[in-house]
Structure 1
């Protein structure tokens, strides 16, 4: 038996601002952009790692008004889960994402638990961590 992550959903409050972060900053490609009943779902993936995607959606897409309002509040506070990306050039990705105006939570640093990583908040408030792929001698 095999199992793999296919996609993960992230709630964003402004799809256009999220695109500037995920597409322009992180370099993900738009695979699908669907609008329905005033809501939008944008699927993005890595050009180098096909198969795993991120779906950006607004808080009310497919949810009740009350649930959407609650999720929007939690996203804005930055208290929902995070997403972690891996790159082979952390410094370059950091500079590119920082240039989008994203809030920097942590500049690139070696962590005591192993990886070298950095952290941002996307325009909606979600925490995004990016870690350096270890070299073969570190793996």
Structure 2
């Protein structure tokens, strides 16, 4: 059977992203490995009750992986919230909205009734779009 193990988000600053996802969103660190000889940091977080799933917080790379113009384009798309979306589910969207707001998460959309459930949205410090949904 095929399963999802990791998904990736481009982030502008891995330390800032790590603080946001652990301190404000309440996730835990899955791995944090730096390979200095490669200039690479493998950093992942995830929900405590889903140990098999990780969100990799990946710094936008430079050469030889990406040329400077492409890296700038990726950073711009991330900042605008158009480089992907993470969908989080919850049993109580309104309660989690209040708790995350109290921790400093700034929501772009407050919880709202939709045909499929209650949905809200926020962005991380890099601009990535995060949806928080209570499904019916």
TM-score, normalised with respect to structure 2: 0.83
> Could you say which residue in structure 2 is the equivalent of 1:119?
121
In the alignment, which of 62, 65, 68 is matched to residue 63 of structure 1?
Answer: 65
Q: Any gaps of 5 or more consecutive residues in structure 2? A: none
Task: For 2:26 and 2:41, locate their aligned partners in 1 and report how far apart those are by CA, in whole Å.
Answer: 20
What SS class does the counterpart of residue 49 from structure 2 fall into? coil
What SS class does the counterpart of residue 97 from structure 1 fall into? helix
What SS class does the counterpart of residue 41 from structure 2 fall into? strand
What SS class does the counterpart of residue 107 from structure 1 fall into? strand
Task: For 1:130 and 1:93, locate their aligned partners in 2 and report how far apart those are by CA, in whole Å.
Answer: 9
Matched, 1:109 2:112: yes
Task: For 1:27 and 1:101, locate their aligned partners in 2 and report how far apart those are by CA, in whole Å.
Answer: 12
After superposition, the CA RMSD in angstroms is 2.0
TM-score, normalised with respect to structure 1: 0.82
Question: Contact conserved, 1:43 with 1:56, CA < 8 A, in 2?
Answer: yes
Matched residues, number? 132
Question: Contact conserved, 1:81 with 1:127, CA < 8 A, in 2?
Answer: yes
1:96-138 deviation digits (Å, cap 9, x = unpaired): 32234333111111112x121210011100100011254xxxx
Residue 89 of structure 1, CA deviation:
2.8
What SS class does the counterpart of residue 130 from structure 1 fall into? strand
Change (3 A) 1:88 1:30: same
Residue 33 of structure 1, CA deviation:
0.8
Task: For 2:71 and 2:35, locate their aligned partners in 1 and report how far apart those are by CA, in whole Å.
Answer: 16
> Which sits farther off after the overlay, 74-83 or 35-44?
35-44
Superposed, which structure 2 residues align to 1:90-105 within 5 Å? 90-105=93-108
